Amino acid sequence: MSQRILHLVFVILFSVYPLAVSAVPFGTYDPRSVAMGGAGVASGNSANAVFFNPSLLAQYTSRKHRARNSHYVFPVASLSVSKITEDIVDLADNNPEQALSDSIATYNADPTQTTAEGVLAASRNLQNDLEPIANETAFFDGIVGMVIGIGDRREGGAFVISRRFVGDGIGKLTAADRQLLTDYIEGLDFVVSAGASGAPHPELFDANGNLLDQTGNLTSTATGRGLLLTEMGIAMSWNVELFRNKVDIGFTPKFVQGTAYEYNSALGNSQLGTSERKENDNWQFTLDMGVSKSLNKKLKLGLAVKNLVPLEFSTKSGGRIDIQPQLRAGAAYRSMDWGYWALDMDVLENKSIGGGDNTQYLSLGGEWLVKAWALRAGYKLNLVGRGDFAKGVFTMGTGYRYRGIGLDVAYVDSGPERAASLQMSRRF
């Protein structure tokens, strides 16, 4: 019977391989995995296995009442945003296009070298604000949740409830806007320097010599889509025998409800943005599955698929956001001398939902125990990213245990990403 179950698991896991995936990123939430570069498919424990690989709940060799393998976790919370997201928010707050418009009005009222310098500075400021976001991906991923994970000898289970807001978008600087700002800079530099530098641009002035305000004609945009997801799931796992080999398998049936968001903003007038939402009231069923195998006391392999049953969410504009299966493989190595090492990789490329870059992460991390402390560090790389999104990200974090109570934190400020994660837990 166990061989039939395991055969079914492998058939289902590998049947998702040829899919063209449209999905949110695999998702790394808890501080331990965030600090270890996002790895966890083979290195998770009862506190975070339900997020990565439910089969890991059955990895323990002793009974739960003897080894306290179980965890109550609340809260587990994390937030990850791209640097580009921060730049777009700052652009809306600072409103540099309005500053350029005001400086043009000031110059036309009193055309002096000083007011011309004001237009020149405002043009450069707007150009400097727009250039970093040109065709770059903005992403955000935040979650808060609760986990009850029960790790036991050869079997285990978990309950999870979470609220996640995830999405991405892209900032687009048009060639026309880039040229217009270049013309303003050259033309006003020509005025300020009395012809010593820059270039004349008579098309920027009307017949009366007034500088034309063309900020209302800027066409650069920021667009994005996101999902606010509520998930509830119950994980189950067992240790089964196949050809005289022990293998752990796990399932997480879960129900998901979501609200779809769409955002469009003209960067030429960042105060004129539109944000629309549509609640999808129906709860949808999906399933996470995983397998893991200990090759010896030090080395473990894992394979997991999330959202085996695809999810669909409609947008207010009539579009659709799909979440297809996500497949990830991992390995973990434990050494008394060199600590605990983990390596994960997305087997499938996950397409963006809002027009940003796709994701396919390679994650590497380590954990070193020093008395009651756990020191963690890692690295992750988006193998299919462009520009800033192709840069590697270094991660770090720590954890502290006192009489079964744990506090874990992680922090990321590297490459394109800014992230933080916090978790409180109690072993039982």
| Whole-number pLDDT of residue 268 | 56
| Whole-number pLDDT of residue 19 | 46
User: Do the Cβ atoms of 91 and 267 come closer than 8 Å?
Assistant: yes
Distance CA 310, CA 325 (A): 6
Listed residue (351, 314, 361, 419) closest to 24, CA to CA: 351
Listed residue (84, 121, 97, 89) closest to 218, CA to CA: 97
How many CB atoms are located within 10 Å of the residue 426 CB? Answer: 15
The DSSP output letter for 196 is S
Distance CA 413, CA 391 (A): 12
Query: Which residue is listed with tokens 């539109």?
Result: 274
Query: Which residue is listed with tokens 């005289």?
Result: 244
Q: Which amino acid is at 355?
A: G
| Whole-number pLDDT of residue 156 | 95
Residue 372 pairs with which residues in a beta bridge? none
Report pTM: 0.89
| Whole-number pLDDT of residue 22 | 52
Distance CA 126, CA 97 (A): 6
| Whole-number pLDDT of residue 99 | 95
| Whole-number pLDDT of residue 86 | 87
Q: Which amino acid is at 320?
A: R
Contacts 24+ apart (CB under 8 A), 314-318: 314/260, 314/278, 314/280, 315/225, 315/260, 315/262, 315/276, 315/278, 316/260, 316/262, 316/276, 316/277, 316/278, 317/262, 317/276
User: Do the Cβ atoms of 263 and 311 come closer than 8 Å?
Assistant: no
Determine phi and psi for 282, rounding to 5 degrees.
-70, 140
What are the respective helix, strand and coil percentages of the chain, to the nearest 5? 25, 50, 25
The pair of three-digit structure tokens given for residue 179, joined into one six-digit string: 């040229």
Query: Backbone dihedral region of 378: left (phi > 0), alpha (psi from -120 to 50 degrees) or beta?
Result: beta
The pair of three-digit structure tokens given for residue 130, joined into one six-digit string: 């727009």
Q: Which amino acid is at 118?
A: G
Query: Backbone dihedral region of 195: left (phi > 0), alpha (psi from -120 to 50 degrees) or beta?
Result: left
| Whole-number pLDDT of residue 10 | 45
Q: Which amino acid is at 225?
A: R
User: Do the Cβ atoms of 283 and 260 come closer than 8 Å?
Assistant: no
**Beta strands in 243-272, from DSSP E residues, in sequence order:** 245-266
The pair of three-digit structure tokens given for residue 99, joined into one six-digit string: 């500053």
Top-level class of domain 2-83+146-171+223-427: mainly beta
Q: CA 285 → CA 14, 78, 232, 255, 273, distances in Å?
A: 20, 24, 10, 5, 34
Listed residue (300, 280, 285, 293) closest to 252, CA to CA: 285
User: Could you state, in order of their start, the residue ranges of all structural domains in the chain?
Assistant: 2-83+146-171+223-427, 87-133+174-217
Burial (0-12, 13-18, 19+ Cβ within 10 Å), 68? middle
Burial (0-12, 13-18, 19+ Cβ within 10 Å), 226? buried
| Whole-number pLDDT of residue 275 | 81
Counting as low any pLDDT under 70, the low residues of the chain are: 1-23, 63-67, 268-273
Q: Which amino acid is at 322?
A: D
